[in-house]
Amino acid sequence: MRGAAWSGGALAGGVTRVTDETVLAAPARSAAFRADAGNGRITLTGTVADEAARLALAEFAMRLFPAGAEAHLAVDPAATAGEDWETAVKRLIAQLARLDSGGAVLNVRRAGLYGRAGTGQTARAAAAALDDMPEGYSAAALVLALDAPAGDPGRGAAAQIGDARDCGLVLEAARGPAPVRFLPGQAALEPRSRRIAARLGEAFRFCPEGVLAVAVQPTGDSPYEQSMAAARAREVAAALTEGGAPAARVEAGAGETGQGRLVRLAVRAPAGEG
């Protein structure tokens, strides 16, 4: 995911980088987007339909995140996106600007927002702002309050999660850009990855329904490699439950991830539901 830099150079004295990841050619599909914010900075990744949208989003992010904004956005002429899509993305970026840290995703016309706000009031305001998404768009949100009591981190949280699909979007937003990794030759998670899993477990406990399935891709077909993948999946599941995920709603095992990732997390609807 690298390509030629935007010929216009850096915005705002080099604080913001706008990188054209690549130009794609494929059948029509929906543009995809994610944003990750923290420490006053934001990074945008995904695809946009044209150069104008790419620059508009980068400039909008720069105005709200003067400490730094980077846009790694691929121009995909086949992507289906329009003014409403751009409005929805800007709505997500604007809410991230209110938070101390967080992430957001937009897949087709459904969005997910996760983050931490300084106060419960700010958390509720950021989540409520997503009620006003463009027509045809919807958003799920989980925003935790940093001023919550140490023993009750859920106090002051704003959770708008209706079903298993909403839950999956919130978890994807909470995952962040870093992949889940294990210590070399071991089932144990790297410390950073364990923190990511714990964060996802904390978020999952706000999901009213669904089972969180963990799959780890075996590195080969041998019994040892299959066993290692299963052990790694159990390690991820343990970190999820330590973070707050109900153990009865977490499953783990070796399996195909199908995403080019070593670890896949998927929220499955309860039995009998779509």
pLDDT in single tens digits along all 274 residues of the chain: 233 222 222 333 333 333 333 333 333 455 689 999 999 999 999 999 899 999 999 999 999 998 999 999 999 888 777 789 999 999 999 999 999 999 999 998 999 999 999 999 999 999 999 999 999 999 999 999 988 776 676 677 899 999 999 999 999 999 998 889 999 999 999 999 999 999 999 999 999 989 999 999 998 889 999 999 999 999 999 999 999 999 999 999 888 877 668 899 999 887 666 5
CA atoms within 13 A on the CB side of 180: 32
Residues belonging to the chain: 274
Quote the pLDDT of residue 28: 41
* Nearby residues of 112 by Cβ (< 8 Å), 6 or more positions away: 104, 105, 139, 140, 141, 166, 168, 169, 170, 171, 172, 173
* Nearby residues of 163 by Cβ (< 8 Å), 6 or more positions away: 208, 209, 210, 269
User: How much helix, strand and coil, in percent to the nearest 5, is found in the chain?
Assistant: 35, 30, 35
Quote the pLDDT of residue 190: 96
CA atoms within 13 A on the CB side of 74: 20
- CATH of 180-274 given 1.20.1530.20, 3.40.47.10, 3.30.1330.60, 1.10.3720.10: 3.30.1330.60
